[in-house]
Amino acid sequence: MTHLSPGFADPVLDAQASFRAILEAMSRPGRIQRIEARITPPAPLCTAAAAALLSLADADTPLWLDAGEAVAEWLRFHCGAPITPEISAARFALACGTAPSLEALDVGTDEDPQLGATLILQVAGLVAGDGWRLTGPGIQHEHRLRVLGAPAEFTAAWARNHTLFPRGVDVLLCAGDSIAALPRSVTIAEG
């Protein structure tokens, strides 16, 4: 370990504010929220993905990631989360490069669907009011969301994930300090 940048400046209130942004994102799928906390995570980790892991991951949540040793070191130190090479054993999966297939993640069981993993997906950008048409719980009529740099064939994979309901994977889309969520209950139609 040579140099490790700090985590949240205020571990209590920054985690609370980040969680509320994530809760708002999860409650209103496709609406983009901003993470207020000022952190400088090691590249390629973005602020929003870092804040999500700092506020949610700990020793109880095995973490899979493809972001390299510097990020693994940073998260191991600040979250205390065990890093697992087995993506199917992870509660949280962090994808900064080529996204893993949703099928590779734990989707929970019919009796315990809450064991389904959360995929934190770093994308190039999030734009509201355009692109995908989202419907489902949390959405009054329709939310529009354009995801720049979304994985190839994502909407088809998402449709398969959605048919597993109540099992399934939930996704947090992160770009810079912006975050939007796709809970398994949501339906995506191409715009």
Partner 1 sequence: MTEAGYNFAYLDEATKRMIRRAILKAVAIPGHQIPFGAREMPLPYGWGTGGIQVTASILGPTDVLKVIDQGADDTTNAVSIRRFFTRVAGIATTEVTGEASIIQTRHRIPEKPLTEDQILVYQVPQPEPLFRLEPHRAETRRLHALADYGLMHVRLYEDIARLGHIAKAYDYPVMVNERYLMSPSPIPAFDNPKMHQMAALQLFGAGREKRIYAVPPYTPVRSLDFEDHPFRPIRAPHACAICGSTASYLDELVTDDAGGRAFICSDTDYCQERQQAPKAAAE
Report if residue 7 touches partner 1, rule: CB under 8 A.
no
DSSP for 41-68 reads PPTT--HHHHHHHHHH--TTS-EEE-S-
Number of residues binding to partner 1, judged by CB under 8 A: 37
Distance, CA of 46 to CA of 114 (rounded, Å): 26
Report if residue 48 touches partner 1, rule: CB under 8 A.
no
Distance, CA of 30 to CA of 182 (rounded, Å): 7
Residues 6 or more apart in contact with residue 11 via CB below 8 angstroms? none
Maximal C-alpha separation, the chain: 51
Closer CB to partner 1, residue 154 or residue 184? 184
Return the bridge partners of 63, or none: 83, 92
Minimum Å gap between C-beta 112 and partner 1 is 8
Q: Figure out which of the listed residues 4, 9, 23, 43 binds partner 1, where binding follows CB under 8 A.
A: 23
Minimum Å gap between C-beta 105 and partner 1 is 14
Strands 33-34 and 118-122: unpaired
Report the site for partner 1 in 152-191 (rule: CB under 8 A): 165-166, 170, 183-185
Report if residue 6 touches partner 1, rule: CB under 8 A.
no
- Ramachandran area for residue 136 (φ above 0: left; ψ -120 to 50: alpha; else beta): left
With contacts defined by CB under 8 A, name the span among 6-14, 37-45, 96-104, 145-153 that binds partner 1.
Answer: 6-14
Minimum Å gap between C-beta 91 and partner 1 is 8
One character per residue 86-125, x = contact with partner 1 (rule: CB under 8 A): -----x-----------------xxx-xx-x-x-------
Minimum Å gap between C-beta 3 and partner 1 is 25
**Dihedral over alpha carbons 111, 172, 45, 50 (to 10 degrees):** -70
Give the pair of three-digit tokens for residue 178: 């912006």
Chain residues that interact with partner 1, rule: CB under 8 A: 11-13, 15-17, 19-20, 22-23, 26-28, 55-58, 60-61, 91, 109-111, 113-114, 116, 118, 137-140, 165-166, 170, 183-185
